[in-house]
Amino acid sequence: MEGTLNLVGAGLIVIGAGLGIGRIGGSAMDAIARQPEASGKIQTAMLIAAALIEGIGFAALFAVK
Amino acid sequence: MVISNKALRFIIATFVICLPFISIANSEPATAAVEVNSEVKEVTNVSKEEVASEERAEFIQHHLKDSHDFHLFSYGKESGHEKHVGFPLPVILWDNGLQFFSSSKFEHGEAIAESNGNYYKISHHDGMIHKTDAAGLESEVKPLDLSITKSVVMILITALLMFLIFRNLGKSYAKNGGIATGIGRFFEPLVLYVRDEIAIPNIGEKHYKKYMSHLLTVFFFIWFLNMFGLTPLGVNVTGNIAITAALAIITYLITTFTANKNYWGHIFWMPGVPAPMKIILAPIEFLGTIIKPFSLMIRLYANMLAGHVVLMSIIALMYTFSSPIGSPLSFILAFVLSILEILVALLQAYIFTMLTALYFGAANEEHHHEEAH
């Protein structure tokens, strides 16, 4: 029973991480569309933020494993 | 240089050209695994699919692990005696003195190796070398293993490759009046990118120079090893937590030992907040300094491992479907995913370098907001 709950928790975290990265990507698209000349800086910031969230997602997966 | 430049380039070019041939050879074990099922089915009652999927899972597991020999492919499984193609690597153990012998003594994990009266066996459970008695009864004792394994070989090859490429690039400036020649023309923009887009914006003009050697080494080391992981050599070096841990520990040590007093001030006595808050924040901030390199380690490891598992699983789907429609479809999927993995290989090297530079930058930040509090 405990194992199943762990899996559900990890699933929730992964859903959260996915939504978060999706939002970052979408917002970066918006920002680039508004200011194409700043696309380089926006991409860098987007990648860093996405990488940080991704780290949480992986940590959740490894905690279950 | 003893060897002329041209010969060296020829050797590297030959090595790269040979990679696709190994690829064709490397796909054979899986084919053999499927072919063997027809015979297994006649002998036992286990269904064909079950055996096949088990063999595929084993093949993927084998690919992800480090091993004591450089195994390229196997053939002849259906005729009873399997032949392995590859080359053995030296095994170095510390167990009542130094034990040094070739991994061919293990015969691909099947046999017991003997060295100076000690007996060793590669365990089927964890893939590590265990001590045994003469009859081959496995014990829990694991000698200290300092062997040159497959991962170590690939690290050495990458180090050599990087040394040759960047030494060449550095020397070509003097020879050619400040303009890079040969393969250096490809790598010079990347070096400049790491300097101008990663190091200077994150660390600052004043301090970036002393960190450049680490940032460049980490960037190209991770990128090269990620790319080697995509070749059919079957290496998975950056998908090994020990290697990413070593990289993260080096980053942690450099951050800790080059940090200025503002950095430590912000960790142990955060300016601008009430005193009780400072006491609460200190352990949290201190934990943060350890979590940062820890997340570097997990991110690179998990990304590369996940990429390999997904890619290998989709290649295995070709044999699961084994139909004229399904197999080409999964082939196309594997092809597209391989291209995506090339992007991920560069992206992960970039992110690791970028975050490392960010941490170095935080360790060197000047105290510039006196008026704010």
Distance between CA atoms of A54 and A58, rounded to whole angstroms?
Answer: 6
CATH class of A13-64: mainly alpha
Provide, as residue numbers in chain B, all residues whose Cβ is less than 8 Å from the Cβ of A48: 351, 354-355, 358
The amino acid that residue B121 corresponds to is: K
Checking if the pLDDT of B37 tops 60, the result is no
C-beta separation of B81 from B88 below 8 A: no
The answer to whether A58 contacts B197, with C-beta atoms less than 8 Å apart, is: no
Q: Which of residues 18-57 of A touch B (CB under 8 A)?
A: 40, 44, 47-48, 51-52, 54-55
The CA-to-CA distance between both ends of chain B, in Å, stands at: 60
Q: How far apart are CA B22 and CA B16, in angstroms?
A: 11
Residue of B nearest to A55 (CA): B299
CB B328 within 8 Å of CB B223: no
- Measured between CA atoms, how close is A2 to chain B, in angstroms? 24
What's residue B214's pLDDT?
A: 94
pLDDT at B368: 64
Choose between B27 and A58: higher pLDDT. Answer: A58
The vertex-A23 CA angle with A20 and A29, nearest 5°, equals 145
Instruction: Please tell me which residue of chain A has the smallest CA distance to B305.
Output: A58
The whole-angstrom separation of Cα B50 and Cα B56 is 10
Distance from the Cα of B20 to chain A's closest Cα (Å) equals: 32
* Range from B3-12, B141-150, B235-244 that averages highest in pLDDT: B235-244
Q: In this structure, which amino acid lies at residue B148?
A: I
Q: For chain A, how big is the Rg over CA atoms in Å?
A: 15
- The percent helix, strand, coil of chain B (3-state, each to 5) is 65, 10, 25
Comparing CB atoms, the residue among A40, A44, A58 nearest residue B299 is: A58
Asked if A47's CB is within 8 angstroms of B299's CB, the reply is no
Strand stretches in chain B, DSSP E: 69-75, 83-88, 90-94, 98-102, 113-115, 118-122, 129-132, 144-145
Q: Which of B210, B175, B172, B215 is nearest to B192 (CA)?
A: B215
Complex-level ipTM: 0.76
Q: What's the pTM?
A: 0.79
Contact A55 B295 (CB under 8 A): yes
pLDDT at B26 over 50: no
User: B35 versus A33: which is more confidently predicted?
Assistant: A33
Kindly identify which residue of chain B lies nearest to residue A40, measuring between CA atoms.
B197
Looking at per-residue confidence, does B313 or B244 come out higher?
Answer: B244
- Angstrom CA distances, B26 to B16, B62, B73, B152, B175, stand at 16, 13, 5, 21, 42
B interface with A, Cβ–Cβ below 8 Å: 197, 295, 298-299, 302-303, 347, 350-351, 354-355, 358
User: How far apart (Å, rounded) are the C-alpha atoms in residues B88 and B82?
Assistant: 16
Label residue A1 by pLDDT band (50, 70, 90): very low
Per-residue pLDDT at B107: 73
* Residue B30: predicted pLDDT: 43
Higher pLDDT, residue B3 or B16: B16
Instruction: Give the pLDDT score at B140.
Output: 72
Cα separation, A23 vs A15, whole angstroms = 12
Highest mean pLDDT pick, B118-122, B289-293, B324-328: B289-293
Please state which of the ranges A41-45, B319-323, B340-344 shows the lowest mean pLDDT: B319-323
pLDDT digits (tens, 9 = 90+) for B324-337: 888 888 889 999 99
pLDDT for position B217:
94
Domain range annotation of chain B: 90-147, 150-363
Q: Please tell me chain A's helix, strand, coil percentages from 3-state DSSP, rounded to the nearest 5.
A: 95, 0, 5
Task: List Cβ<8 Å contacts ≥24 apart for B29-37.
Answer: B29/B59, B29/B73, B29/B74, B29/B75, B30/B56, B30/B59, B30/B315, B30/B316, B30/B319, B31/B319, B32/B74, B32/B75, B32/B76, B32/B77, B32/B78, B33/B59, B33/B77, B33/B319, B34/B319, B34/B322, B35/B77, B35/B78, B36/B77, B36/B78
Going from N- to C-terminal start, the domains of chain A cover: 13-64
Q: Does A59 touch chain B (CB under 8 A)?
A: yes
For tokens 């000047």, the residue is B366
Of A40, A44, A51, the CB nearest to B299: A51
Q: Give residue-wise pLDDT tens across range B78-103.
A: 666 777 777 788 888 877 777 788 87
Q: CA B11: distance to chain centroid? A: 23
Average pLDDT taken over every residue of chain B: 81
pLDDT band at B182 (very low <50, low <70, confident <90, very high): confident
